[in-house]
Structure 1
């Protein structure tokens, strides 16, 4: 009997179910609103703007110029970033991951340690005049497959973009494509970068990993093999910050709302964010103007839109040690391949619960909203706001605040009190615990030092000359920069340019800072020159030969297109594009992939704790099909697809296929979905 006849006969009979199905959990109550819906990746190409990666490596003629080799690319980034003089860490944080969880996990097999995947993140602020890359640029490099996987921010669209750089090798012609976001969102479920939790045992922070990398004797693009947890820890923190960008965008756009009230709300958030940024991250006490323009409207509208709060997608994956229990690297290829297997509990494809919730009625809700917007004003220009205020110093009004001081018992310190709850401590020529009217306490500073206060004002001078034995009056002389900022923001909001920038659109951080500087009398910065790269998707090198017009695929084969095409009908081989190619050869490609497809389909019928691999389609994507995982597990469509590949394997081997037997040698030892030379 031919395979096609067997498939047709199968559809007339009861579906073949491989092993008895296990109990699947009942469908839970409806999920509260996600900040980013894991099942709604959005358009593959940017709806507006381009990625930061495009901007960085544009050739000025609509294309790209991506530096090679990889250490040259690293060197290109370095001068764009400020260095922290108190830290020994580089501004670009790279780690080596030979046995990881990316789609490229098997690209170097079996030479995992000779060709480890590099993951780098930028977590440093920009050098003066440079673009904001902090927490906005992530690159994965797989040398063996000559591919860069890039995640970088698109400020105009208010989202991270996913891109691939192909043919990134010596003598190659690097080509940059936007990626299939369906594939990306299967793992990046918050539409942002992901990373492991501590102790980051997949990276070269693991001494066993570092030792094996050292044994290879290669120079890995100038990246040290022996490194502690400092670099992966920094990446982890940056990834967590990056995953909050989407929350900031939703609160800015939807939380503030449309029209003039929405613009006033956004202006209030931005003004508070500027003050916070100038004050080194300290937020002043909200005043009546902020409460009226931003706080009360945002709480009220967000409470109506999201009465149960907004779920923030989880960015961290369980820590995994791929060398756990491995005392000696195996000599046999099957055992080496088995070590690259990622069990279901470690898979980034597994649905992840929320990392946190944002609720409008929470005490910290407004502070989180302001802090989120502040992440978009550190664009390399905000220091110019500081300089602009200093240049206007002569015209800014001064304020003088008087405090009464008393000596503290059994110490040389004085405690001073002033109007509105202002407090400070003075001892040995240093001021500590300075708080104006309930602001967060100022870090300690010398008596003659000028400092920026949390509310936005500049403390020019502290006059303690009248103190006698620690008692008496003390005066604070303030330059009222907060008034200048408020006046500039009012003028900006009332201008046509400001109305456009404060409209219902993603946070235009750099443009808002530029416009604010103009209101403070600064000349506008020179706009960048050149033509940005044209966003494009990759198309197959050879178009598939189609079946004759009007000839549909047989029903059992058509089901694979319906449920798998979003990820597996593409120009990529990771994940395997077994649906790409001539229609009359689809059956042969499915037969090649049958062991892996059978395993993935049967996993849906097992409880999560009993799964060796994650099911396909990924459960986080099933809502896009209008079906819950519990319903998918018992659906006739899934059973039909399982029966197709089970029949193929039965005819091939003469035995009833058993997923557990297939997995006995490890999932990665199953024959690959794509045969050599396949599409």
Structure 2
């Protein structure tokens, strides 16, 4: 759909690499850099968009109108305290989407495309079972097309779904449907969102674009569109994270595959364990040394990696080159002429999403460091609220072994009961010698504490009546150079006495979660003796660390056992599904399992179902049907449906499109660097590499040249003109 300023952008054909890895321009295409399209309808489950807005059982749409109402419904699932409320919105008047011409290029600034992406988390206290939309939901709206283009994640299928909503206008019944994936993946080679690189000069964050938008005086649906580059940057970053979800799923399924089912399940269980530890420790648990201690994951993963991807696993590039639509306007005039707008709306080959993109990088799969990349990507499947719920459950269990024993009995969990029987959480202490000073008004105490093996604490405590009411640890480093960084220090509810002096007790906090060491221990508290009135600072600070992750390990082991026994499929050879993992883990940790989400009742449908055809194609039209039929046979204006209808209709539409079709076909004969436009079929299409050598190429060219000759147009003259000046291909929806 777009490009991701598209979200469905493309113009044609199937999307698997050719057998020899070559493309139409002769350049090698690395294995794994392009995803095959797969079926248009979900092979399992439904998209997040359907889960939020699918039709009721009676078929009535739940899709709000106008567009700001839809955005508000999405925003209700997010933490409003985040930048942009967690929902980033930009206007793109002259972009690279299929729908970019819907308003006519002259009116592009009066009717810009609106692009919205969920870039934020749900509230930290969101209940278990909440929808997780971050990086997983992208919606674009074009008023003139009366359409929404949607990319959203489907966890049951382990893929992003591409959807169109037509007839999205006031007083109408919206018509949602799943889009033609072959068409979408012609640009979305990564089968996920794509977006421009900085500095996002097509968007409303660009000063020239913003000035032209403001000059119209239009309210643009009341959206807060005036902003800096932080908003498109957030979308770009979200698309980059989304790009790794497919890689993580591939490694989850194929990287942990094994003839021995027990070994495969053990590999996925260990990957899950490390992914959750990665999140609980803010990414510090997965050093290469620590990963090497986990042979259940690293050894089979790297062995499979070398076998399946001997040249490494190519990571597709979700970024498009930045494009400045008005780079050629002389003197910076605020309003280009109509002809200039038409010219600047044209997408040169260098900026076209259809052009092949080299992989972003290649993960070689030769060391534990590559396993760490997998673990980090896998950890993104869990929301901030998911991790907070696990963290809270662990804190309760470690604070009350009796409660843990009771919960273990309720769950019939003897392993957890054994842990609770005096061995739930081992405790250790770290002592630091402190120096410091009070401010002249005695309102703040600055501490600098050091201990053995490089431990360090630098903190600022806010004082009231001699007692600290809170503060900040600006630097916290534990033995072994475990740099935790800055954390908030919250005063504990209780205070205790030590050697006759009252002790100030603080709980380290980071975003409402427990602060943990790289090894996973919770820093339960920091005790600081209250300084005497005539003392500059206390002599000693003590950190109490609790090893409380054992219950989580037990819960993961039980999930592996349930999978092997057939009571669960959470760790089987299926996509990683948050909805299959979290309820079991949280229940074992004593948190009530969320109710399963209600399934979308209405059956999924195609946005553009293939039309039945009476009889075979005439011989002269068969090459067009073979080469263009997957994307140009639907009743659509974008891309033009010139193969829709009866033979005479098709002949008439091809004749009307002949100038532009000949131009795009001719690009196949030029090297990539010499192409002003991308060729057709698109370079990413499965058949593009062989097209220039096929008999269809000269047959199609000859027919188009004959049609132009009937209008006294020389092919050489057509190819010499700028593409934007050629007769538009107006074949559209019926």
In structure 2, the residue matched to 1:302 is 305
In structure 2, the residue matched to 1:357 is 362
Deviation of 1:55 after TM superposition, in Å, equals 0.3
Deviation of 1:480 after TM superposition, in Å, equals 2.3
1:588 matched to 2:666? The reply is: no
Structure-1 separation of matches of 2:654 and 2:436: 84
Q: 1:49 aligns with which of 38, 45, 52?
A: 45
Structure-2 separation of matches of 1:249 and 1:436: 36
Paired residue secondary structure (1:90): helix
Paired residue secondary structure (1:518): helix
Structure-1 separation of matches of 2:310 and 2:435: 49
1:72-108 Cα shifts (integer Å, max 9, x gaps): 11111111001346x4x33110000111110011111
Whether the aligned pair in 2 keeps the contact of 1:61 and 1:530 (CA below 8 Å) is no
Deviation of 1:440 after TM superposition, in Å, equals 5.0
Structure-1 separation of matches of 2:34 and 2:507: 49
Whether the aligned pair in 1 keeps the contact of 2:394 and 2:548 (CA below 8 Å) is yes
Paired residue secondary structure (2:162): strand
Superposition RMSD on alpha carbons, in Å?
3.0
Q: 2:448 aligns with which of 390, 413, 422?
A: 413
Deviation of 1:498 after TM superposition, in Å, equals 6.9
Whether the aligned pair in 1 keeps the contact of 2:51 and 2:600 (CA below 8 Å) is no
Q: CA 1:32–1:260 in structure 2 vs 1: closer, same or farther (change >3 Å)?
A: farther
1:272-300 Cα shifts (integer Å, max 9, x gaps): 22222233343355658961211222122
Q: CA 1:452–1:322 in structure 2 vs 1: closer, same or farther (change >3 Å)?
A: same
In structure 1, the residue matched to 2:710 is 651
Structure-2 separation of matches of 1:599 and 1:142: 28
In structure 2, the residue matched to 1:11 is none
TM-score in terms of structure 1 length = 0.86
In structure 2, the residue matched to 1:92 is 87
Deviation of 1:66 after TM superposition, in Å, equals 0.9
Deviation of 1:571 after TM superposition, in Å, equals 3.2
Whether the aligned pair in 2 keeps the contact of 1:93 and 1:121 (CA below 8 Å) is yes
1:168-201 Cα shifts (integer Å, max 9, x gaps): 0112110101000011001111001111111111
TM-score in terms of structure 2 length = 0.80
Q: 2:695 aligns with which of 636, 639, 642?
A: 636
In structure 2, the residue matched to 1:399 is 426
Structure-1 separation of matches of 2:58 and 2:585: 31
Whether the aligned pair in 1 keeps the contact of 2:302 and 2:367 (CA below 8 Å) is no
Deviation of 1:562 after TM superposition, in Å, equals 0.7
1:273 matched to 2:275? The reply is: yes
Whether the aligned pair in 2 keeps the contact of 1:377 and 1:510 (CA below 8 Å) is no
Whether the aligned pair in 2 keeps the contact of 1:649 and 1:657 (CA below 8 Å) is no
Whether the aligned pair in 1 keeps the contact of 2:429 and 2:545 (CA below 8 Å) is no
Deviation of 1:267 after TM superposition, in Å, equals 0.9
1:292 matched to 2:292? The reply is: no
In structure 2, the residue matched to 1:18 is none
Deviation of 1:509 after TM superposition, in Å, equals 1.6
In structure 1, the residue matched to 2:79 is 82
Q: CA 1:435–1:248 in structure 2 vs 1: closer, same or farther (change >3 Å)?
A: farther
Q: 1:33 aligns with which of 31, 34, 52?
A: 31
Paired residue secondary structure (1:500): coil
Greater shift in the superposed pair: 240-249 or 429-438 = 429-438
Structure-2 separation of matches of 1:58 and 1:436: 53
Task: Provide structure 1 residue ranges, at least 5 long, that are not aligned to the other structure.
Answer: 1-23
In structure 2, the residue matched to 1:13 is none
Structure-2 separation of matches of 1:435 and 1:95: 43
Structure-2 separation of matches of 1:535 and 1:379: 31
Deviation of 1:474 after TM superposition, in Å, equals 6.3
**What are the equivalent positions in structure 2 for 1:553-564 lying under 5 Å apart?**
553-564=617-628
In structure 2, the residue matched to 1:519 is 588
Greater shift in the superposed pair: 608-617 or 444-453 = 444-453
Whether the aligned pair in 2 keeps the contact of 1:464 and 1:474 (CA below 8 Å) is yes
Paired residue secondary structure (1:243): helix
Whether the aligned pair in 2 keeps the contact of 1:158 and 1:506 (CA below 8 Å) is yes
In structure 2, the residue matched to 1:7 is none
Whether the aligned pair in 1 keeps the contact of 2:166 and 2:176 (CA below 8 Å) is yes
Deviation of 1:513 after TM superposition, in Å, equals 1.2
In structure 1, the residue matched to 2:320 is 317
Task: Provide structure 2 residue ranges, at least 5 long, that are not aligned to the other structure.
Answer: 1-22, 402-419, 438-445, 462-472, 490-504, 509-513
Structure-1 separation of matches of 2:612 and 2:474: 74
Q: CA 1:513–1:642 in structure 2 vs 1: closer, same or farther (change >3 Å)?
A: same
1:560-607 Cα shifts (integer Å, max 9, x gaps): 111111111123221111111113432222111111110000011112
Deviation of 1:262 after TM superposition, in Å, equals 1.5
Whether the aligned pair in 1 keeps the contact of 2:718 and 2:726 (CA below 8 Å) is no
Deviation of 1:62 after TM superposition, in Å, equals 6.8
Structure-1 separation of matches of 2:183 and 2:545: 55
1:579 matched to 2:585? The reply is: no
Deviation of 1:217 after TM superposition, in Å, equals 1.3
Structure-2 separation of matches of 1:523 and 1:225: 41
In structure 2, the residue matched to 1:4 is none
Q: CA 1:284–1:608 in structure 2 vs 1: closer, same or farther (change >3 Å)?
A: closer
Structure-1 separation of matches of 2:612 and 2:573: 43
1:482 matched to 2:549? The reply is: yes
Structure-1 separation of matches of 2:526 and 2:572: 42
Paired residue secondary structure (1:495): helix
1:448 matched to 2:506? The reply is: yes
Q: CA 1:553–1:372 in structure 2 vs 1: closer, same or farther (change >3 Å)?
A: same
Q: CA 1:654–1:466 in structure 2 vs 1: closer, same or farther (change >3 Å)?
A: closer
Structure-1 separation of matches of 2:354 and 2:691: 16
Paired residue secondary structure (1:492): helix
**What are the equivalent positions in structure 2 for 1:370-381 lying under 5 Å apart?**
370-378=375-383, 380-381=385-386
**What are the equivalent positions in structure 2 for 1:137-156 lying under 5 Å apart?**
137-156=137-156
1:504 matched to 2:502? The reply is: no
